[in-house]
Amino acid sequence: MSLTRHLRKHMNDPSQLSLLLDTCTPDVAKTAPDTAPQTNIAPAIDFAVESTPDTKHHLSEAHRTVSPKPGTRRIMLDQTALDYQLLRSKRHTIGFAVSEEGLRVTAPRWVPVSEIELAIIEKQNWIFNKMNEQRERSVRRLQPPMRWQDGATIPYLGTTITITLDESVQAGVRFDEASLVLYVSLPASASEQQLKDRVLGWLQGEAKKLFAERLAIYAEKLQVSFQSFALSSAATQWGSCTAEGRIRLNWRLMHFALPNIDYVIAHELAHLREMNHGPEFWATVQSVFPEFAAVRKALRNHEPEKLPVF
């Protein structure tokens, strides 16, 4: 049994839609259904909550705003000081965004600060969780980069494989599915660039074969025909599809488990029936990939710092 069997993109141009590469949790709004993945390679984490002019709640003494650093406000949450930046806009909801700069709150001009801070209190667990996640990502980015050398490991189809230098390998690269070892025919004196190039070539070759196989399966399920497909190295897209049926898939999907790859493929092929991200589109995706919501969330929440740099 092969390893692949065992381990089983908002474009302005209406002629092409693409699936964006998201690095953290996307927008979540109580007033609108979840739609397509959001833009930006490293976006802030945010959500919105409904707000009305009337409120029956009052801010308690324990949560009174105290003087913070310039340009921000401060609210006390269980003896923890939370600083945030308050922006006013024409929007109809109170929005929260967590980034490396901290918490940003965007609210309608007519909403009083007391109601805004009540919303902060209500969502404090979510806010602190996202701030912790942001700090963890910042720490990981400060860690030493991957060393391309004998014994290095890389993610592959949802598992981890080990790179081993072995000059005796005849084909240049040989993958042992049983031991999850990638044997590369290079001497111990080979440079890191040589090793990266060799592994990249192998990964892209495997991607071409696997993507072609999965495209055929889901095209049949959806009863659509695509004109062509090619690998992509895009920094912000997992895949794209034009109205003419030209599909591009990011070869770095090979780092993820097969369901993630299948979701992107089903997503792009579904555009051949619905060139939008409306309800009909998502119903089309679900018809052939029922578990798409959970897999889409997992792909959005991937940690780019954990992927090897080529």
* Per-residue model confidence as pLDDT tens digits over 183-226: 999 999 999 999 999 999 999 999 999 999 999 999 999 999 99
**Model confidence at 31: pLDDT above 50:** no
Domain assignment present for 12: no
Average pLDDT, the chain: 80
Quick one: 210 and 114 in the same domain?
A: no
Q: Is residue 48 part of a domain?
A: yes
Q: Is residue 99 part of a domain?
A: yes
Question: Of 141, 172, 207, which one is at a domain's C-terminal end?
Answer: 141
Same domain for 124 and 79? yes
pLDDT in tens, 225-247: 999 999 998 877 899 999 999 99
Calpha distance 245→191 (Å, rounded): 41
**Structural domain contains residue 131:** yes
pLDDT higher than 70, residue 165: yes
Domain boundary pick from 141, 158, 180: 141
Query: What's the pTM?
Result: 0.62
The confidence score (pLDDT) of residue 264 equals: 96
The answer, yes or no, to whether residue 63 has pLDDT greater than 80, is no
Judgement on whether residues 126 and 159 belong to the same structural domain of the protein = no
Residue 38 lies in a domain: no
Q: Are residues 137 and 150 in the same domain?
A: no
In a domain, 174, yes or no: yes
Whether residue 234 lies inside any domain: the answer is: yes
Residue 10 domain-assigned (yes or no)? no
| Structure confidence at residue 177 (pLDDT) | 95
Q: Domain containing 118: what range?
A: 44-141
183 and 293 co-located in one domain: yes
Predicted pLDDT at 99? 86
d(CA 277, CA 39): 14
